[in-house]
Amino acid sequence: MPTLEGRPLARHQLANGLRIVLHRDPTLPLVAVNLWYHVGSKNERPGRTGFAHLFEHMLFQGSANVGTNDHFRHLQEVGGVANGSTWYDRTNYYETLPSRHLDLALWLESDRMGYLLPGLTAEKLENQRQVVMNERRQRVDNQPYGRAMERLFELLFPEDHPYRWPVIGRMEDIEAATLDDVRGFFSTYYGPANAVLSLAGDFEPAAALASIDRWFGGLPASLPVPRVRAPLPPLERAVHDSMTDRVQLRRLYLAFRTEPFGSPGWWTAAVTANLLTDGKSSPLVHDLVVDHQLAQDVSAYVYPTEEVGVFLLVATVRPGVEVERLAARIREHLDGLAAPAASPSAPGWLAALDAELERARRRTLAGIYSELQTLDHRADLLSQYTTFFDAPERAFSEAAAYQQVDIAAVRAFAAARLGAPNSALLVVEPEGERA
């Protein structure tokens, strides 16, 4: 089976601290350029939330040599596809474009890394503030179940924890952001020493490195940014809450704290999520959606977060079904996985756990192969593993990490992490029907 393991990778570092990863694949005349800055919403503080994301928007508003809106214009007029995104631990910026235009991407990325502030105006900030407030309305406030994750994370994380507030921020905080905030944020977090630049695609490595050096090498060195450390042990007591929303179907959210992204326990959590809900034949989908029809849908997934991992299970309740009944049935599955002999009513699939694990592994593998087809995904993985672990080669060994998870690990994970004491349960009820 051909995989990407062993594909050529080269890593470098400029004197100013910028780390570089190069991965050559000349299949198509394209190159993916990807930059991770190790800053996200976890670097914010309560009352000043949403700033990392608003700042990301400002990075598309031009710099000393690039006019407002010209970032997208320059890239699109050569056939480039570009965007950026902000998350708890990081902010990324990326473009995939015809490889002959590699220098264009390097010019744009280096100009905003080095010379953002001369292009900054109050008018641009005000415009993007309005855009971001509309983004929040579209994704959160005017979306069914849109505010559920915010409430769930308030249950899962303590008052001062940096994953407690939403990445997009609170509306009043977005409104309060000032130009001085933007300037300060840039100076603190957007230097070359806090960034990783990855290229994947059709280029000659030596020439590409020379180009990178030409565009980025002259930028002044920056101070290393101390990482925000916020590890958390499992919850000691189950927490639960309910909220209302403009919806007709109830939905339950069940979250558990896990080990952070990249740790052995995190891979186990990821395989367990797929084991439980990936595919129509997976035990939770089969039991809850097909067989007993307690749920309209059910899915489990893990957050690749750097400080604390999150295992999340979301199920929409079938009309006419008691939410307590669905929650209890889910607990039976999870408890059975942790201690199969404990309950005589334990679900039958636990007797064939090896087959279920094999399904989860194979589907995960197919998913990884599918994602690795695109250059953008590969470049993003390289930045991710370099930013978090200084180990780009791990980007192409995810399949192996998943394959190492065995039944004993899954059972131990379920026992340690998926029990009621480590859980946060949120139920979203239709408005006007709350008991």
Partner 1 sequence: MSLPPTPSSGRSPDRTGPPAPGPESAVPMPVFDRFSTAPEAWGAPVFVASRAGVPLIELEVLLEAGGEHNPPERPGLAAMTASMIDEGTARRTGPELSAELERRGGSLSCHADWNAARLRLQLLSSDLEYGLTLLAELLFEPAFPEHELERLRQQTLAELKRRADQPAAVADEAFAHHLYAGTIFALPLAGDPAALLALRRDELLEFHRDHYRLERGALVVAGDVGHEELSAAIAGAFPAPAGAGAAAMAEAAATTEATAASAAGAASPAGDPGTHARALRIVVVDRPGAEQTELRIGHLGVPRRHPDRVGLGILNTLLGGKFTSRINLNLRERHGFTYGASSRFVDRRSCGPFVVSAAVTTSAIGRAAQEVLGELRRIRAEPVSPSELDETRNYLLGVFPYGLQTVEGLAARLDEIALYDLPLDTPARYLAEVAGMRTEELARLAQAHLFPDQALVVAVGPAEVLMRQLAELGTPELWRPAASTGSA
Among 5, 45, 46, 69, indicate the residue that binds partner 1 (CB under 8 A): 69
- Residue 79 or 421 having the CB closest to partner 1: 79
Size of the site for partner 1 (CB under 8 A): 95
Cα separation, 198 vs 211, whole angstroms = 13
Question: Please, which residue, 357 or 424, has the CB nearer to partner 1?
Answer: 357
What's the maximum distance between 2 C-alpha atoms anywhere in the chain? Answer: 70
Write phi, then psi, for 197 (nearest 5 degrees): -115, 120
- Tell me if 205 contacts partner 1 by CB under 8 A: no
Write out the binding residues for partner 1, residues 222-281 only, by CB under 8 A: 246-249, 278-281
Q: Give 10 or 239: the residue with its C-beta nearer to partner 1.
A: 10
Residue of the chain from 241, 328, 390, 404 that contacts partner 1 (CB under 8 A): 390
The span from the CA of 280 to the CA of 167, in Å, is 32
N-terminal to C-terminal alpha carbon distance within the chain: 56
| Minimum CB distance to partner 1 smaller for 149 or for 209 | 209
Residue type, 427: V
Nearer Cβ to partner 1 (176/338): 176
Q: Burial-class residue 324 by CB neighbours within 10 Å (0-12, 13-18, 19+).
A: exposed
Residues 368-387 that bind partner 1 (CB under 8 A): 369-370, 373-375
Of 235 and 285, the one with the shorter C-beta distance to partner 1 is 285
Which segments of 217-322 does DSSP mark as H helices, in order? 264-277, 283-284
Among 5, 45, 117, 131, which residue sits at the site for partner 1 (rule: CB under 8 A)? 131
Q: Which residues contact 315 (CB under 8 A, 6 or more apart)?
A: 251, 252, 254, 288, 295, 296, 297, 298, 299, 326, 330
Tell which one of 98, 234, 304, 340 touches partner 1 (CB under 8 A): 98
Do residues 20 and 12 touch, judged by C-beta distance below 8 A? yes
- 188 is a site residue for partner 1 (CB under 8 A): no
Which of 8, 220, 319, 432 touches partner 1 (CB under 8 A)? Answer: 319
Quote the CA–CA distance of 187 and 113 in Å, as a whole number.
Answer: 10
Provide the minimum distance between the beta carbon of 155 and partner 1 in the complex, in angstroms, as a whole number: 23
Min separation Cβ 123 and partner 1, Å: 11
Q: Give the contact letters, 320-359, x = binds to partner 1 (CB under 8 A), - = no.
A: -----------------------------------x--xx
Candidate list 142, 187, 244, 263; residue touching partner 1; CB under 8 A: 142
Q: What is the DSSP annotation of 182-227?
A: HHHHHHHH-SGGGEEEEEEES--HHHHHHHHHHHHTTSPP-PPPPP
In the complex, minimum distance from the CB of residue 357 to partner 1, in angstroms, rounded to a whole number = 10
